[in-house]
Every structure is written in C-alpha cells, then in structure tokens.
Amino acid sequence: MELTAVLIDKPTDVNFILGQSHFIKTIEDLHEAIVQTVPQMKFGIAFCESSGPALVRRTGNDAELTELAQRNALALSCGHCFIVFMTGGFPINILNTIKAVPEVCTIYCATANPVEVIVADTGSGRGILGVVDGARSKGIENEADVEARKQMLRKFGYKL
C-alpha cells in the first residue's frame, strides 16, 4: 500500500466540502440539494465514479468552480468521493442538506482552509483515509479572542 498526501488546489477564499457516497446518482442529487437550499449559491461538484468507466462526473452552476472541482477530484481519484466548491455562501448553509442526501456516507471536511487529503493506493484502488485541515493549534483563546470570535460571527450574520 502506498500513502500519499494530495493537496486540494483552490483559491484562498473558496470553501469546499469533501465527502464520500455510494452511487452514481450522487452528482445529480447533490446539485438539486444545493439549488433547493441556497438558490443564489455558485458551486461546482465533481464525483469519482468507482466502477464501470470510472470517470470523474461533474455538474454545477459556475464553470470555474466546476472546473476546480473536476481537477481536484481527478487528483484524488478515490472511489465514490465527491467535492463541492462554493461561493456566495458557506458550507454551514448546505452541510445538513448534503448529509441528508441518501447516497452520502461521510463528510471528511467542510472548510476554506488549506487541506491535504491522505490517500491510500492499494494497487486495486484508491481511498481517502482522512484529511489534514488547516494549521496546528497555537494555544487557548483569551477574553480578547472570545470577543473577536463573537464579532466575526456577527459580521457574517450568524449571531445577533
């Protein structure tokens, strides 16, 4: 078995969700789920088919985000994984909807951070073992950090 770390290649300010599902219908169901939940969100989705032609399937309502998704999915090439890139919203806006899609098995991460995906290649296929999402913790927040966190949440409209 060979282990590698695949860096997700994306602009700094673009959020994404990485997950695993179990059926080719995933691509259409994820597209519908996002549009029905946050119609104004721009997104691109790619899905690594795990059998038959084993293609990277893609959809979205934004050509650049769809290209980004398919390029990263191909770099991963892990069976049944999917990746959603988005602007005009955050993962929190669609995460529960995506988790409720019947084909979705797991969400590995939902972030705008730099991410490395730990991939195992057994020779017969590739799979995601986990992710490295962002930086190592540098300490424990103090009262000023608590206030800054609360202000940021208010700025984004998540707290009153």
Tens digits of per-residue pLDDT, 17-52? Answer: 999 999 889 999 999 999 999 999 999 999 999 989
Q: Where are the beta strands (DSSP E) in 55-103?
A: 56-60, 81-87
Tens digits of per-residue pLDDT, 121-155? Answer: 999 999 999 999 988 999 999 999 999 999 988 98
The residue type found at 62 is D
Q: Closest Cα partner for 75 from 134, 18, 30, 15?
A: 18
- Percent of the chain surpassing pLDDT 70: 100
What integer pLDDT is reported at residue 28 of this predicted model? Answer: 96
What integer pLDDT is reported at residue 149 of this predicted model? Answer: 92
Neighbours of 116 (CB within 10 A): 14
Buried b / exposed e over 126-136, threshold 16 CB at 10 Å, is bbbeebebeee
Q: Where are the beta strands (DSSP E) in 88-146?
A: 104-111, 115-121, 126-133
Domain extents for the chain?
A: 2-155
Per-residue tokens: 117: 């995906």
Q: Tell me: domain 2-155, CATH 3.40.228.10, correct? A: no
Backbone angles phi, psi at 57, to 5 degrees: -90, 145
